[in-house]
Amino acid sequence: EVSSEDPEMAFCTLANREDLNPEEGSIYQCLYQFTRNEKLTETNKLLCDVCTQRRYGPKKNIKSEKYVYTNAKKQMLISLAPPILTLHLKRFQQAGFNLRKVNRHIKFPEVIDLAPFCTAKCKNVAEGNTQVLYSLYGVVEHSGTMRSGHYTAYAKMRSMNNHLSDLVLRGQSPQALETEPAKGQWFHISDTHVQAVSAAKVLSSQAYLLFYERLL
């Protein structure tokens, strides 16, 4: 579905992206790169129905070779902030004819703000809010190589977030909720072995999947 938006608002976000200055090797940098503004030119030009109709009239009278393509801008932004945010990091890379694992550590915070990556008209963010905060509650880590390895998890035991049910079941937007993560204990789970660990241990892990729950 294609909808016309106000050109002045099409690339606006809830929080100023220019103020973000993401740290190298961080999840913020990953999100910044994924949602960057791209120019579509040359062989990537966009087929423009409006331009085609202006030049040739209604579509029914146009031959396929007469479609008009034009330079354009493209940007992927979040239009609906989810109750649960799952971030999947690409840990496997093509190297020639082989696949290899990416072992680089990506920094990620306990509380993340998605506002710089949300449209200014994000559907379930209360008017006037310039933050969309999420609290980390789970991490999946892969150890080993492409040929053999093992998945383990970190999970946070914490008090229940009563607002999540409102978000999931009724779609109600948070108005003024907590801006700090719920206090709790982190655990490392490997098959049947479970061990209490510190938050610092979790944040130093080689994350493959990150799970956040919405705070604000």
pTM score: 0.82
The answer to whether residue 116 is domain-embedded is yes
Pairing, β 69-70 against β 46-47: antiparallel
- The pLDDT of 72-97, averaged and rounded, is 88
| Higher pLDDT among residues 2 and 146, named by residue | 146
The answer to whether residue 190 is domain-embedded is yes
pLDDT at position 177: 58
- For the chain, list the strands marked E by DSSP: 38-40, 46-47, 69-70, 72-74, 84-88, 92-95, 98-101, 111-113, 133-144, 149-158, 184-190, 193-197, 207-214
The answer to whether residue 45 is domain-embedded is no
The answer to whether residue 104 is domain-embedded is yes
pLDDT at position 78: 93
Domain that residue 200 falls in:
78-174+181-215
pLDDT at 72 over 90: no
The answer to whether residue 62 is domain-embedded is no
The answer to whether residue 14 is domain-embedded is no
Residue-wise pLDDT for 101-120, tens only, equals 888 899 999 999 999 999 99
d(CA 188, CA 196): 6
Domain count, the chain: 1
pLDDT at position 1: 45
- The pLDDT of 56-85, averaged and rounded, is 80
The answer to whether residue 4 is domain-embedded is no
Rounded mean pLDDT of the chain?
85
For residue 143, give the CATH number of its domain.
3.90.70.10
The answer to whether residue 44 is domain-embedded is no
